[in-house]
A and B are shown apart, each in its own frame.
Chain A
Amino acid sequence: MGKTAELLPGTLDMLILKAVSLKPLHGYGVLLRIRQISGDALDIPQGSLYPALYRLEHQGLIAAEWGQSENNRRAKYYTLTAAGRRRLREEAAGWKRLASAIASALNTTPEEV
């Protein structure tokens, strides 16, 4: 396992939305997918994943449905709802603005001041 970064507060929800936007996933799947799409750089404490999933479902951003897992076990699958898609778009845009602002702030040289 390579170096992992601490999650910033508020980013977990965005990552979950992103993960289930690609394909319906069960909870464990969400964990693996986030790990995978972040190139193993982000690790989520397993215990905190489920309260976040429940909260998002409660807010109507994702929907849950029982289905069959790859090895034929009953599992709860989460999909993105229309509201979730909208939220993901907003958060991603906001995140990009923030990231570029911070990046440009950090790249400032003395001459530019």
Chain B
Amino acid sequence: MGQRLRSLLRALTARRDFESGMAEELQFHIEEYAQDLARSGMALEEARRRARMEFGGMNSVKSECREARWLHPFDELGRELRYTLRLLRKSPGFTVTALATLALCLGANLTIFAVIEAILLQPLPFPHPGRLVTIFNTYPKAGVERDGSSIANYYERRGRIPAFSSLSIYRFGTAIIGEPGSTERDQITAVSPDFFKTVGSGPALGRVFTDAETTYQTDNVAILSNEYWRSHFNADPHVLGKQIRVDSFPKTIVGVLPPGFRFLSSESQLYLPLSSRLEARASRERHSGGNVIQMIARLKTAATLAQAQSQIDAQNTALERYDPQAKMIADAGFRSLVVPLHADQVTTVRPVLLLLQGGVFVLLLIGAVNLVNLLLIRANGRVKEWAVRRALGAGRRHLVSEAIVETTLLAVAGGLLGLAVGAAGVRLVVALGADRLPLGTHIAFTPQLAVVGFAAAIALGIALAIPTVWFTLRLHPANALQSEARTATAGRAAQALRHSFSIAQIALGFVLLVGAGLLGVSLQRALAVSPGFQPDHVLTGQISLVGNSYPSAAAGVTFIERLVDELDRQPGVLSAGVAVNIPFSGRNGKSAATVEGRVLLPGESERGHYSYGVDGDYFRAMGYSLKAGRFLTGDDSRRAKRNCVVDEDFARYYWPHTSPLGQKLFQGSSAGPESEAFTVVGVVGSAKQAGLTDDTAQGAVYYPYRYRPDSNIFVVVRGGLQAETLRVALQRVVKRIDPELAVSDVRTMDDRITASLLTRRSPALLGGIFSGIALLLIAIGTYGVLSYAVAQRRREIGVRMALGARPEQIRAQFLSLAMRLLFGGTVLGVIGAWLTGRAMQAVLFHVSPHSAAIIVGSASIMAVVSIAACLLPAQRAARISPMQALAEQ
């Protein structure tokens, strides 16, 4: 076999040599024979003639020789390719349409698939990633769906849950790294010592953290990411033991991670121990998660998720027995859920991505149907040619392979273009912000993806050939050769097929339009939601008050006072303030507050509220509306008065009938001594914290920063002009006050709101693009089918017009065909849209999944497009001159 393939390969690669050698060899034979004949006395001319005659047909000998070399099928393929190329060149309109359709449909599918592959399909880059789970506390009845895990949870579970081989916690954050004067703010991850064991991949150099390194006194160690080690330490192999300053504290480098180590979407440069105070590890702190610390664990080989869940549940029950607040916790619906880590990461984007893939697949179907229709029309146009060739001895096999070669050739070329479109599409979705989706940093147009795309293109090419092949096989040469054969049964069946394809196409397009409409209206409704404050002209940034200079909240208050003071004096600044959390920051932690003198109603559970420590002129800077009383200002922090402000949701919930002003409340889930009570001095409008589409009235309390401090603060500046112009001033002021501090995450408020709509805006935009392409394809398809119907019945129309039919009647006839297609497609489409709406419910916002307006709107667009597409052919039909039409055949 090997020998034969080598021989074939030789003949194929040096085809010209093979042919000339063969010709020379055969010529030599004839010449020698002729010489021999001449030697026996024959005249030379006569001898040559005789030699040629006895040798037989030169061409058939050559062809047999080629066949002996297995060159035959290649020759045939080559011939068919050349023939097909000639045909395609002769009809550039068809070729360009087909290639563009394939390129767009395949490219769009590849683009979305690249995103799905990176986010949903690719396993996490750790050994046995399927066994990684996350565990988080949930208090659904208190309005807190997700509260992370607490330090206490970690210490009580570690080593005590038999289903887990390892369990650990982590916290994402940022830190200022470097020596004073040349600091930079980088992402860091604080992890418990067993973190690397849990994920299954640890330092390539050095060691992991130890249990002794998890207190604030002993946590002066750090592990570098490989990238940081290369960029900042020149990949120094002796880096272990060297010092690095983190938040102005020196840390000893104890490890370097392997290249490519990336935990989820994090771009952490540094891993630090997750330290805690001993008190925080006690059981009474087990509900103080606040969604800052997350827990992960690795299931043992034999253990299941259900086992882990029941073990966690059992432990929770046992521990809650001694909790003084057990009843309240139980009333809040408390549970600790065990969820696969990968699924948990992508849970928010999964429905949207699957929806987009569905939409783009529908687009591919529309494109494919279009091509099948165009191919069938072409096939019908070549019926006579085929019939003649069949009559002259061409086999069915030949015609079938020709059809397959044609579609495969188109699909291969279209597929290659599609790869280019896909690569560009991936760049587009990344530009649209897909890389900011969870695990989105993995999105790339990989070679594997190109291979998959190309294979899909070839499969599509073969599938596209099926209807044409079916049509070819049904062909009766005798019928086809009769002059009126176009109305023969094969033609009628093909026509029915084309029309049903057209209907399917309209139905699919309708579904796509409705889907895009639902997404678009949802986006519009979301954009119309007021965030509860005035986001324009507001610049925000984060500052970490860490290091030796800020040992206490009081030091923070002093810094903030100076900061706000200096910012106020900057030209262009209207007001400035500080808060420990701002809306759309991505942090949605909630905590409890207890209203003085209020007892929980039966069945009512403790509620989680957003709680903010604010300082300076935060409310005015953010543009909150004042509903009653007054705002908190820097004065409240400075004078140490226990005042607070609540929002309307909070006020409505606790004091539906009385004025909230002068009421007292406590931080946390129990009332304290009178001296710790906060007096409500104002009510502000409710703001959206988690996102514009967050509909829950969670309630919020604003305390003076002094009483709810945090080392991480957001500074908020309102300017008279573009907020962006304040960026430099903000950075400069902070540097002037404390050169060791840096402002990070500097973004306008508008920017944050826009970013929060990422999972709505991009799908709506892509849905719009897909629908646009689908409409174009449908227009082309309808136009093609109608044009063909007109061309096919030219003669009939000519006869009727000669007999007195008016052009309007002819036009009406074709328009009514178009209307029938449109009607059939719309009826099917409404059914599809109904199902689609139901499937989309989860991603819709304030719009009914069966919105009549959207269905009617889509139907109108579809009607306009398909009627426009058939006006031209119908018009052409009406203009047919009977004389010409009848003279043609």
In the complex, whether B3 has a CB less than 8 A from a CB of chain A is: yes
In the complex, whether B33 has a CB less than 8 A from a CB of chain A is: yes
Binds A, one of B65-73, B301-309, B459-467, B874-882: B65-73
Residues 10-69 (chain B) with a chain A CB within 8 angstroms: 21-22, 24-26, 28-29, 31-33, 35, 54-57, 60-61, 64-65, 67-69
Contacts of A69 in B (CB 8 A): 28, 32
Contact between chains at A75 and B28 (CB < 8 Å): yes
Q: How far, in whole Å, are A76 and B56 apart by their CA atoms in the complex?
A: 20
Contact between chains at A74 and B3 (CB < 8 Å): no
Residue in B33, B57, B61 whose Cβ sees the most chain A Cβ within 10 Å: B61
Contacts of A58 in B (CB 8 A): 4, 7-8, 68-70
Contact between chains at B29 and A74 (CB < 8 Å): no
Binds B, one of A3-11, A15-23, A42-50, A86-94: A42-50
Q: What's the minimum C-beta distance from B84 to chain A, rounded to whole angstroms? A: 29
- Among B7, B24, B25, B32, the residue within 8 A (CB) of A50 is B25
Q: How far, in whole Å, are A27 and B27 apart by their CA atoms in the complex?
A: 11
Q: How far, in whole Å, are A73 and B68 apart by their CA atoms in the complex?
A: 26
Q: How far, in whole Å, are A52 and B65 apart by their CA atoms in the complex?
A: 8
Given A59-B3, A69-B28, CB of A46 within 8 Å of CB of B68: no
Could you tell me how many residues of chain B have their Cβ less than 8 Å away from some Cβ of chain A? 27
Contact between chains at B56 and A54 (CB < 8 Å): no
Residue in A46, A59, A73 whose Cβ sees the most chain B Cβ within 10 Å: A46
Contacts of B4 in A (CB 8 A): 58-60
Contact between chains at A47 and B60 (CB < 8 Å): yes
Chain B residue at minimal CB-CB distance from A55? B68
Mostly helix, strand, loop or mixed at chain A's interface? helix
Given A54-B69, A58-B68, A69-B28, CB of A47 within 8 Å of CB of B56: yes
Q: What's the minimum C-beta distance from A53 to chain B, rounded to whole angstroms? A: 8
Contacts of A54 in B (CB 8 A): 65, 68-69
Contact between chains at B57 and A47 (CB < 8 Å): yes
Contacts of B35 in A (CB 8 A): 71
Q: How far, in whole Å, are A55 and B66 apart by their CA atoms in the complex?
A: 9
Contact between chains at A28 and B57 (CB < 8 Å): no
Q: How far, in whole Å, are A58 and B35 apart by their CA atoms in the complex?
A: 30
Chain B residue at minimal CB-CB distance from A70? B32
Chain B 157-168, CB-CB to A under 8 Å as 1, else 0, gives: 000000000000
Given A27-B25, A28-B28, A51-B61, CB of A57 within 8 Å of CB of B33: no
Given A45-B56, A46-B56, A47-B55, CB of A28 within 8 Å of CB of B69: no
Chain A 65-79, CB-CB to B under 8 Å as 1, else 0, gives: 010010101111000
Chain B residue at minimal CB-CB distance from A46? B55
Contacts of B29 in A (CB 8 A): 26-28, 31, 46, 50
Contact between chains at A28 and B32 (CB < 8 Å): yes
Chain A residue at minimal CB-CB distance from B4? A58
Contact between chains at B24 and A74 (CB < 8 Å): yes
Contact between chains at A47 and B24 (CB < 8 Å): no
Residues 189-215 (chain B) with a chain A CB within 8 angstroms: none
Q: How far, in whole Å, are A46 and B55 apart by their CA atoms in the complex?
A: 5
Contacts of B31 in A (CB 8 A): 73
Residue in B8, B31, B32 whose Cβ sees the most chain A Cβ within 10 Å: B32
Chain B 615-659, CB-CB to A under 8 Å as 1, else 0, gives: 000000000000000000000000000000000000000000000
Contacts of A31 in B (CB 8 A): 29
Contact between chains at A76 and B25 (CB < 8 Å): yes
Contact between chains at B28 and A46 (CB < 8 Å): no
Given A51-B64, A51-B65, CB of A57 within 8 Å of CB of B32: no
Contact between chains at B61 and A74 (CB < 8 Å): no
Q: How far, in whole Å, are A47 and B54 apart by their CA atoms in the complex?
A: 8
Contact between chains at A26 and B65 (CB < 8 Å): no
Given A47-B61, A50-B61, A59-B4, CB of A26 within 8 Å of CB of B28: yes
Chain A residue at minimal CB-CB distance from B33? A28
Residues 69-84 (chain B) with a chain A CB within 8 angstroms: 69-70
Q: What's the minimum C-beta distance from A66 to chain B, rounded to whole angstroms? A: 8
Q: How far, in whole Å, are A58 and B64 apart by their CA atoms in the complex?
A: 13
Contacts of A59 in B (CB 8 A): 3-4
- Among B21, B57, B68, B70, the residue within 8 A (CB) of A51 is B68
Contacts of B69 in A (CB 8 A): 54, 58
Q: How far, in whole Å, are A28 and B28 apart by their CA atoms in the complex?
A: 8
Q: What's the minimum C-beta distance from A64 to chain B, rounded to whole angstroms? A: 9
Q: What's the minimum C-beta distance from A74 to chain B, rounded to whole angstroms? A: 7
- Among A57, A71, A74, the residue within 8 A (CB) of B7 is A57
Contacts of B32 in A (CB 8 A): 28, 69
Contacts of B28 in A (CB 8 A): 26-28, 69, 73-76
B interface list, Cβ under 8 A from A: 3-4, 7-8, 21-22, 24-26, 28-29, 31-33, 35, 54-57, 60-61, 64-65, 67-70
7 A–B pairs (Cβ distance < 8 Å), ordered by A: A26-B25, A27-B25, A47-B60, A48-B64, A52-B68, A55-B68, A58-B68
A interface list, Cβ under 8 A from B: 26-28, 31, 45-48, 50-52, 54-55, 57-60, 66, 69, 71, 73-76
- List of 8 A-B pairs having minimum Cβ-Cβ separation, nearest first: A47-B56, A51-B64, A60-B3, A55-B68, A54-B68, A28-B32, A54-B65, A28-B29
Q: Apart from A46-B55, A51-B64, A54-B68, what 16 extra A-B contacts exist at CB < 8 Å?
A: A26-B25, A27-B25, A28-B32, A47-B56, A48-B64, A50-B22, A50-B65, A54-B69, A57-B7, A58-B68, A66-B21, A69-B28, A69-B32, A71-B35, A73-B31, A76-B21
